[in-house]
Amino acid sequence: MTELPSEYHRRLPYGERMSAEPLLGTPFFPFEGDVEVVRLADPVLPEPPRAGEDGGRQCVKCADPEGFVIWRDEQWHLKAGFEASGLPFVAVLEPREHYRLDNLPAELTATLGPMIQRVANAIRRIDSVGRTHFNRWGDGSEHFHLWFLARPLGMMQMRGAMIAAWDDMLPKVPDAEFAANAQLVAAALAEDGGEPIGAGLPDAE
């Protein structure tokens, strides 16, 4: 194994299985019964390059800048419809230019907060949505992106981080309904600027 970089790393039991016990029976954990946790893998150092980094795959966002875009302004675009979703709506907010979080210019960091508010409010207009969750992971692609996940109204089991797992497990939203939701979100965003884009989505009719 690579030399371990910190005391934290030296403490971890590589190759062993953690117990799922702390999660079992908690309100947000969607599994019960005998759950076997995968074995803890060794750290990979240096970390492999993400898409868009030197030595990594091409940035898919920059290779296809129009793909799945449902709304855009001069700085940002919102994408949706990459794959069938179990949640009422899933979207990604990205700067139109290739930046990481740590080198995002001041003119973009200044509008990031207002954009989060606008996207969350727009998604909440969908009648099946109770609240809009958002997350930045960023371990797959270097191009800065924020995920927005619509938590269905009243579905209190789906609060918290496991909402991403529920998205994979719930029955898929029909294409026409998802497209109608996307049009509603794009139109709501456009009320405060930018333009709705229809490309990449199935017809709502």
Q: Which residue from 51, 62, 190, 204 is in contact with Zn ion, where contact means CB under 5 A?
A: 62
Q: How far apart are CA 182 and CA 90, in angstroms?
A: 9
172 touching Zn ion, by CB under 5 A? no
51 touching Zn ion, by CB under 5 A? no
Beta carbon of residue 75, minimum distance to Zn ion (angstroms, whole number): 14
20 touching Zn ion, by CB under 5 A? no
Q: Which residue from 98, 131, 159, 172 is in contact with Zn ion, where contact means CB under 5 A?
A: 98
Q: Which residue from 77, 143, 145, 151 is in contact with Zn ion, where contact means CB under 5 A?
A: 143
Q: How far apart are CA 12 and CA 42, in angstroms?
A: 9
Residue 31 one-letter amino acid: F
Query: Where does this chain touch Zn ion (CB under 5 A) — which range of 24-32, 40-48, 138-146, 166-174?
Result: 138-146
The secondary structure of residue 122, as a DSSP letter, is H
Identify the CA nearest to 133 among candidates 106, 104, 166: 166
Query: Where does this chain touch Zn ion (CB under 5 A) — which range of 3-11, 41-49, 106-114, 135-143?
Result: 135-143
Query: Where does this chain touch Zn ion (CB under 5 A) — which range of 50-58, 72-80, 121-129, 169-177?
Result: 50-58
Site of tokens 């030399």: 3
Identify the CA nearest to 119 among candidates 155, 157, 79: 79
Residues 176-195 that bind Zn ion (CB under 5 A): none
Retrieve residue 137's tokens.
Answer: 């992971």
Note whether 43 and 9 are within 8 A (CB): yes
